[in-house]
């Protein structure tokens, strides 16, 4: 296996998002998946019903135990739930700043359930953002973090990415999945360049866990030594194909086919 990836995220018992999606994605792309669980969620493909954060010290201890034995080639941080968890993790990340950190800032579920407390958002901005090698917000998350009223265009996406880099992130991938149109575009904003990754809109309800999957796919590529632009390009294609070949599971927003084979 090529690339040891530590995913730090919540658990989704329905298997389509969170740590379950992370492990499947990392494994499908040839990496070695490690996992520290931050939250137990009560959810299925229909919605998130409840969230039970794991104590911050237990989350930190899980991560520390891995780092004492295995050095990850990249770390993917997903659902974080609490400010205290973020504070404890930030110190660990400071002490291991040579490991690339990919952050998927999970703030709300698609069904509208809050997944990160307000004080946690503040810590995310103050403590985590300056340590982040790549931030992967969707449109709503990018607007909230960048203090923008809305993001309605690719130009807005670029502006949000630039603002988030000014706030400390090394690079930002603003995901355009919720933008209207027949072509969906993700915008990668780096300090010196901007790249666009586009694909045709797929008319489907099977989009459960796309954000988790994309961030883990990028983390795997970075951990395997692939340049950021190419890692994002591969991940974008992987998610697109995984949606195209979704298995039609569940009665709500179904999961992707994480074991799709890339050309």
CATH, residue 114: 3.40.1190.20
Residue 25 annotated among the catalytic residues of the structure: no
Instruction: Examine residue 262 and state whether it is found in any structural domain, yes or no.
Output: no
Domain contains 255: no
**Annotation marks residue 190 as catalytic:** no
Distance, CA of 164 to CA of 74 (rounded, Å):
21
Q: Is 192 a residue whose pLDDT tops 80? A: yes
Q: Pick the catalytic residue from 211, 221, 223, 233.
A: 211
Chain Cα centroid distance, residue 67? 21
Which of 4, 38, 78, 212 is catalytic? The answer is: 212
Task: Yes or no: say if 134 and 172 are a contact pair by the CB < 8 Å rule.
Answer: yes
Specify whether 253 is catalytic.
no
161 part of a folded domain: yes
Q: Domain for residue 259, yes or no?
A: no
Residue 8: give the domain boundaries: 4-244
- Per residue in 86-106, pLDDT tens? 999 999 999 999 999 999 998
Whether residue 257 is contained in a domain is answered as no
- Residue bearing tokens 């930190």: 60
The DSSP 8-state label assigned to residue 4 in this structure reads E
Please choose, from the candidates 41, 48, 6, 38, the residue with its C-alpha nearest in 3D space to the C-alpha of residue 23. Answer: 6
The verdict on whether 68 is a catalytic residue reads: no
Annotated catalytic residue within 10, 209, 221, 254: 209
Q: Which residue among 210, 213, 220, 223 is the active-site one? A: 210
The active-site residue out of 4, 76, 175, 253 is: 175
Q: What integer is the mean pLDDT of 149-155?
A: 93
How high is the pLDDT of residue 109? 64
Query: pTM (2 decimals)?
Result: 0.96
∠ Cα 32 33 39 (to 5°): 175
Q: Is residue 28, in this structure, part of any structural domain at all?
A: yes
Output the six-digit token pair for 205. 């309800």
Is 261 inside a domain boundary? no
Residue 210: active-site member: yes
The answer as to whether 181 is a domain residue is: yes
Distance from C-alpha of 157 to C-alpha of 189, rounded to nearest angstrom: 9
Average pLDDT over residues 5-10: 98
**For the ranges 101-115, 167-181, 237-251, the one whose mean pLDDT is highest:** 237-251
Number of domains within the chain: 1
Among candidate residues 25, 38, 207, 213, the one labeled active-site is 207
211 is an active site residue = yes
């Amino acid at each position: 296996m090529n690339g040891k990836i530590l995913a730090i995220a919540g658990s989704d018992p329905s298997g389509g998002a969170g740590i379950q999606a992370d492990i499947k994605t990392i494994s499908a792309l040839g990496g070695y998946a490690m996992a520290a669980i931050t939250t137990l969620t009560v959810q299925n493909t229909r919605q998130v019903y409840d969230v039970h954060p794991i104590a911050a010290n237990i989350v930190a201890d899980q991560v520390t135990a891995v780092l004492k034995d295995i050095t990850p080639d990249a770390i993917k941080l997903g659902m974080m739930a609490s400010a205290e968890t973020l504070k404890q993790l930030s110190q660990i990340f400071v002490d291991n700043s040579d490991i690339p950190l990919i952050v998927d800032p999970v703030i709300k579920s698609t069904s509208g359930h809050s997944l990160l407390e307000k004080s946690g958002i503040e810590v995310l901005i103050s403590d985590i953002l300056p340590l982040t090698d790549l931030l992967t917000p969707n449109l709503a998350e990018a607007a909230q973090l960048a203090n923008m009223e809305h993001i309605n265009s690719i130009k807005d996406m670029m502006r949000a990415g630039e603002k988030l880099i000014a706030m400390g992130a090394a690079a930002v991938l603003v995901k355009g999945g919720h933008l209207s149109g027949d072509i969906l575009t993700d915008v990668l904003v780096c300090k010196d360049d901007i790249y666009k990754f586009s694909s045709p809109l797929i008319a489907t309800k099977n989009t459960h866990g796309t954000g988790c999957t994309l961030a883990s796919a990028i983390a795997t590529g970075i951990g395997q030594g692939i340049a950021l632009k190419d890692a994002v390009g591969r991940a974008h294609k992987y998610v697109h194909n995984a949606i195209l070949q979704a298995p039609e599971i569940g009665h709500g927003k179904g999961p992707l086919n994480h074991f799709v084979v890339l050309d």
